[in-house]
Amino acid sequence: MRKVRDSFLSRFDIPNLGRLGIPVVLLVALFAACAEKTPDPWRDLPGRNAYVFHCGACHGKRGLGSKNLFPPLAGSPWANGPVDVPIRVVLQGLEGELTVNGEDYMNIMPGLGKRLKDSEVAEILTFVRSAFGNQSGPVTAADVARVRAETKDRKRMWKVPQLEPMLKGTGE
């Protein structure tokens, strides 16, 4: 029976590593040092940390979503349209087939209204509407309080067709 050699380096392997190993390590270190480090340009904006904590797992740190699962917030009319739409989505959630930037998504977003204060919703949505290349106006805590009061009896998530008219300016 042959002895199985274990995978650890022996003292006989170390001299051979010097010939190839050191140049490879130096090359990898050089590439790592030269690699472009892309900083998060939004890291200092108010609302960023709350966004990352509550929204980032699905919509991504850079607001790009996840193909076929979670829609992007970058360039999305759902995030950048009339403030009442994203407020309703954050407070009560959204379900149904959704098209954003030409891509279809079929998933649900749970409402966060029971977890977040009006000021937190406003801060997160203001961040979303000003980050990721978006240039929409802020959302105030007063906006959130108004929508929360208008929808206080709502027990279910919004369905996409219920909010789409608001995006086009023909709804509530």
Over residues 135-166, the pLDDT tens digits come to: 999 999 999 999 999 999 999 999 999 999 99
Helix (H, G, I), strand (E, B) or coil at 158: strand
Q: Is residue 95 part of a domain?
A: yes
Q: How far apart are CA 42 and CA 62, in angstroms?
A: 9
In a domain, 87, yes or no: yes
pTM (2 decimals)? 0.74
Would you say residue 38 lies in a domain?
no
Instruction: Give the DSSP H or E segment for 159.
Output: strand 158-159
Q: How many domains does the chain have?
A: 1
Determine, yes or no, domain membership for 108: yes
What percentage of the chain carries pLDDT values higher than 90?
65
Asked if residue 11 is part of any domain, the answer here is: no
Does residue 10 lie within any of the structural domains?
no
User: What CATH number did the domain enclosing 59 receive?
Assistant: 1.10.760.10
Range of the domain at 109: 48-167
- DSSP letter for each residue of 27-42: HHHHHHHHS-----TT
pLDDT tops 50 at residue 9 = no
- Give domain status of residue 113, yes or no: yes
